[in-house]
Amino acid sequence: MIFVTGGAGFIGSNFVLDWIETVGEAVVNFDKLTYAGNLNNLAGLKQDARHRFVQGDICDTAQVAQLLADHKPRAIVHFAAESHVDRSISGPGAFVTTNVNGTFSLLEAARAYWSGLPEAERAEFRFLHVSTDEVYGTLGPDDAPFTETTAYAPNSPYSASKAASDHLVRAYHHTYGFPTLTTNCSNNYGPFHFPEKLIPLIITNARAGKPLPVYGDGQQIRDWLYVGDHCAAIRRVLADGKPGETYNIGGWNEMANLDVVHILCDILDDLDPKSANGGSGSYREQITFVKDRPGHDRRYAIDARKVQRELGWKPAETFESGIRKTVQWYLDHQEWVANVQSGDYLKWVEQNYDQRDMAGETT
Ligand code: NAD
Ligand code: TYD
């Protein structure tokens, strides 16, 4: 079996569902269930004996050590993290606690477990650390995309905490020979994405008739990857990645935020026009430019040639097909949306957007 941390979050839950469907191997899913963790994401596995959920904190080395001893996983896939840049700006402490100290605690429990394994199992064991392209900092318009040798230059408390965790993972391989793999991936989108992030926020605000907040001039560029493609990349790296190596994962799909928002509005105009709900006009009319994020990185772009060359992975989904599927998923899962937009979510929206002046300029 494999041990997954953070498997109730956006990417982790997609990974666990995908893993059980495609690989069929048992999973112990260890998650603290912060505001971002949601057991409803895993409802499809309720009756499935191959999935065991355990609530807990990666900072609790003793609990993790006990679970590893009990379940004897052949691999750990580490997703658990605080993941939202805006939250890291208003409250960086939780990011250091979970992303840095938590990864350290997990590494300690995992290293002790791995050291005690019989030789054949020790040789096969893997620790896959899921990280982000944000550790590389920001690019100018004509800069080459990030490669695995680009120098780290994190700019937000989130990316700094992820960079620190990447360094610890690297050091554990270099110092102890611990068999680590690190993936640095670009922005994901798809089902179960918590609506504090751009794409699900725009879809859910649009349908609720609320402003669609675009930070600054909306010309910041992100490289978007469908979450199912990210899960497939992680499976490839786990199967055949070389211990100690890092792999950049990306969608070859750079887009300015404003273009993404326009596309979402156009798809919604098509799939769920305002006129069908008694309104009129386009969702584009709800776009509102608001105060920019402090230290906002201008451009991310991933050079994903290494993982293609060495492991044969490349994205299967185009942005056009993936984003349409995603909008349709949100339209079909309004109960899921209503569920996650609970009291805590409303508090966050108030805190993050009131100070940005949501009555700002509209298009
Ligand atoms: P998410 O915020 O949706 O989910 C994080 C999960 O981790 C939640 O289920 C949460 O309950 C759990 N968690 C948080 N703190 C924990 C702790 N101390 N102990 C145990 N569990 C804890 O995040 P996501 O978007 O699914 O991202 C997953 C991973 O992928 C993160 O490491 C993130 O840095 C990385 N990543 C995300 C993206 C993206 O676009 N979302 C891109 C590249 C890399
Ligand atoms: P986000 O989904 O938070 O991901 P990240 O910051 O990790 O890239 O944001 C994606 C981009 O969208 C980023 O440039 C910030 C921008 N953004 C907005 O313009 N408005 C919003 O309300 C949010 C949440 C993000």
Which atom of ligand 1 lies at the shortest distance from residue 133's CA? Answer: 43
The rounded Å distance from CA 161 to ligand 1 centre is 13
- Cβ-contact 319, 264 below 8 angstroms: no
In this structure, the residues whose C-beta lies within 6 A of any atom of ligand 1 are: 5-6, 8-12, 31-34, 36-37, 57-59, 79-83, 98, 102, 130-132, 162, 185, 187-188, 194
Confidence check: pLDDT of 361 > 70: no
Choosing from 113, 158, 283, 330, which is the catalytic residue? 158
Q: Is the model more confident about 342 or about 27?
A: 27
Q: What is the pTM assigned to this prediction?
A: 0.97
Q: Sort 346 into a burial class: Cβ within 10 Å, 0-12 / 13-18 / 19+.
A: exposed
158 is catalytic: yes
With the most atoms of ligand 2 within 8 angstroms of its CB, the residue from 133, 197, 353, 363 to mutate is 197
Instruction: Using the predicted structure, report yes or no on whether residue 277 has a pLDDT greater than 70.
Output: yes
d(CA 258, CA 30): 36
Tell me whether residue 361 is one of the annotated catalytic residues.
no
Residue 180 CA to ligand 1 centre (angstroms): 19
Predicted local confidence at residue 295, as pLDDT: 97
Q: Work out which ligand 1 atom sits closest to the CA atom of 11.
A: 26
pLDDT in tens, 38-60: 999 999 999 999 999 999 999 99
Which one of the listed residues 133, 223, 229, 254 is annotated catalytic? 133
Pick the atom of ligand 1 nearest to 98's CA: 18
Region 337-354: mean pLDDT is: 88
Q: Please tell me the predicted confidence (pLDDT) of residue 360.
A: 57
- The ranges assigned to domains in the chain are 2-193+224-252+297-318
Which of the four pLDDT bands, split at 50, 70 and 90, describes residue 312? Answer: very high
* pLDDT average, residue stretch 126-138: 98
Which of 192, 195, 331, 334 has the alpha carbon at shortest distance from 269? 331
Q: What is the pLDDT of residue 346?
A: 84
Residue range 82-98: average pLDDT? 98
What would the pLDDT profile of 193-215 be if each residue is shown by its tens digit? 999 999 999 999 999 999 999 99
Ligand nearest to the CA of 191: 1
What is the pLDDT of the chain when averaged over all its residues?
A: 96
% helix, strand, coil for the chain, step of 5: 50, 15, 35
Respond yes or no: is residue 133 known to be catalytic. Answer: yes
Residue 358: pLDDT above 80? no
Ligand 2 shell residues, CB under 6 Å: 85, 187, 197-198, 201, 213-215, 220, 222, 257, 293
Strand partners, 221: 256, 299
How confident is the model at residue 342, as a pLDDT? 81
**What is the dotted CATH code of the domain comprising 2-193+224-252+297-318?**
3.40.50.720
Give dist(CA 305, CA 311) in Å, integer: 10
| 344 — pLDDT class (breaks 50, 70, 90) | confident
pLDDT > 80? residue 216:
yes
CA of 109 to the centre of ligand 2 (A): 34
Banded pLDDT at 133 (limits 50, 70, 90): very high
- Segment 256-260 mean pLDDT: 98
